[in-house]
C-alpha cells in the first residue's frame, strides 16, 4: 500500500528539478513515472495533500493542481472522506467502427456478462432537433430510451436513443437489446453515420459512470437508417475514456 512518500517516490524529501515546466506538471510526471515503475499500483493510496506537499517541498496548491489533473485523466480517484487512490485498471474494450452492432452484441461476442440500468423509457413530444433528425410531422411523438450499460461490475457507457413512436410505440417492451427488438418488427437499421468527439464529463454523467467530474470520455452520435433511407434512430452515447478503444480500418483509395 502506497501510504508514505518513501513508498511513492523512493526517497524523502524529493527536490524536483527546475526548468522542466510548471512545478505541478513536474510532480504530475513524477507520479506517472512511479506508476509506470510499479512503485504504486491500482488501489494504492497516495499520501495526504499536506504530507505529499511536505515530502516534495512544494505548496499544497501545487500538489492539489497536479492531483486534480490526474483525477481528470482517470489516473487517480478521490473518495470523499477517504483520500486519493490509484484508479483500478480496466480491461479495455476494443470496438470496431466499421460494423453496425449493439452494445449487447459487442459484449456477447467477448463473452462478457452485461446488464443495463434503465434511466428513462417513455413517449414524449419531440424537441426541434429530434423533429428534424427523424423527419417527423407536427403531431408525431418520440420514444426516448436511456440506459446505463454495465459489464461485470463496471459501468461502461450511457446510451440515450430517440426513435419515432411509429417505430417504437411501446418502449417498455424492449428487452436486453434495442436492435433485437427492432429486428422483430422489421425495423433494424442497416447503416449508420457516427460522429465521435472528446467530452469532459459533467457531474451527473460522471456519477453514473463512477468516475470524477471532468474526466475525459468519448461521445458518439449515431444516426441510423433503414433500407428505405428513413432515419430510424438517433443516439448519443457516452463511453468511459479509460475503458474503450475505437478501431477503424482504413484502406488506400484508388486513383482513377
Bigger pLDDT: 15 vs 224: 224
pLDDT band at 49 (very low <50, low <70, confident <90, very high): confident
Beta bridge partners, 239, equal 157, 218
Q: Given CA atoms 57, 47, 69, 73 in this order, what sign does their dihedral have?
A: positive
| pLDDT number for residue 224 | 95
CA distance 16 to 27: 7
Is pLDDT at 222 greater than 50 in this prediction? yes
Per-residue HEC secondary structure of 24-66 comes to HHHHHHHHHHHHHHCCCCCCCECCCHHHHHHHHCCCHHHHHHH
Closest CA to 31 of 20, 18, 46, 15: 46
Q: Given CA atoms 15, 19, 20, 23 in this order, what sign does their dihedral have?
A: positive
Q: At what angle do helices 60-72 and 23-37 cross, to 10 degrees?
A: 60
Q: Are 41 and 49 in contact (CB under 8 A)?
A: no
pLDDT more than 90, % of the chain: 35
pLDDT band at 151 (very low <50, low <70, confident <90, very high): confident
Is pLDDT at 230 greater than 90 in this prediction? yes
Bigger pLDDT: 114 vs 157: 157
Bigger pLDDT: 5 vs 231: 231
Regarding pTM above 0.85, the answer is no
φ and ψ of 128, to 5 deg: -55, -40
| pLDDT number for residue 29 | 86
Is pLDDT at 10 greater than 80 in this prediction? no
Is pLDDT at 13 greater than 80 in this prediction? no
Residue 219: Cβ-neighbour burial (10 angstroms; 0-12, 13-18, 19+): middle
CATH fold of 93-247, please? Chorismate lyase (3.40.1410)
Most confident of 24-28, 64-68, 86-90, 226-230: 226-230
pLDDT band at 6 (very low <50, low <70, confident <90, very high): very low
Is pLDDT at 199 greater than 80 in this prediction? yes
CA distances from 222 to 64, 92, 146, 160, 251 (A): 38, 22, 14, 10, 23
Q: What is the mean pLDDT of residues 10-32?
A: 69
Residues of the chain within CATH 1.10.10.10 domain(s) are: 5-86
Is pLDDT at 193 greater than 60 in this prediction? yes
Closest CA to 64 of 215, 216, 76, 217: 76
Residues of the chain within CATH 3.40.1410.10 domain(s) are: 93-247
Is pLDDT at 3 greater than 50 in this prediction? no
In this structure, whether the domain defined by 5-86 belongs to CATH 1.10.10.10 is answered with yes
Helix, strand, coil tally for the chain in percent (to 5): 30, 30, 40
Amino acid at each position: 500500500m502506497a501510504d508514505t512518500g518513501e513508498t511513492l517516490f523512493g526517497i524523502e524529501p524529493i527536490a524536483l528539478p527546475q526548468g522542466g515546466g510548471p512545478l505541478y506538471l513536474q510532480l504530475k510526471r513524477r507520479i506517472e513515472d512511479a506508476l509506470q515503475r510499479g512503485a504504486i499500483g491500482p488501489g494504492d493510496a497516495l499520501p495526504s495533500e499536506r504530507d505529499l506537499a511536505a515530502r516534495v517541498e512544494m505548496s499544497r496548491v501545487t500538489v492539489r493542481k497536479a492531483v486534480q489533473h490526474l483525477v481528470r485523466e482517470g489516473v487517480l480517484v478521490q473518495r470523499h472522506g477517504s483520500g486519493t487512490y490509484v484508479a483500478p485498471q480496466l480491461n479495455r474494450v476494443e470496438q470496431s467502427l466499421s460494423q453496425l452492432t449493439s452494445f449487447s452484441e459487442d459484449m456477447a461476442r467477448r463473452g462478457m456478462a452485461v446488464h443495463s440500468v434503465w434511466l428513462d423509457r417513455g413517449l414524449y413530444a419531440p424537441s426541434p432537433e429530434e423533429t428534424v433528425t427523424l423527419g417527423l410531422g407536427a403531431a408525431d411523438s418520440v420514444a426516448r430510451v436511456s440506459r446505463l450499460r454495465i459489464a461485470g461490475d463496471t459501468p461502461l457507457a450511457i446510451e440515450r436513443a430517440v426513435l419515432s413512436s411509429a417505430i417504437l410505440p411501446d418502449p417498455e417492451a424492449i428487452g436486453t437489446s434495442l436492435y433485437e427488438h427492432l429486428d422483430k418488427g422489421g425495423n433494424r437499421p442497416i447503416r449508420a453515420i457516427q460522429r465521435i468527439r472528446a467530452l469532459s464529463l459533467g457531474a451527473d454523467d460522471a456519477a453514473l459512470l463512477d468516475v470524477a467530474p471532468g474526466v475525459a470520455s468519448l461521445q458518439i452520435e449515431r444516426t441510423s437508417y433503414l433500407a428505405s433511407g428513413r432515419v430510424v434512430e438517433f443516439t448519443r452515447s457516452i463511453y468511459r475514456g479509460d475503458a474503450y478503444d475505437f478501431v477503424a480500418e482504413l484502406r488506400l483509395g484508388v486513383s482513377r
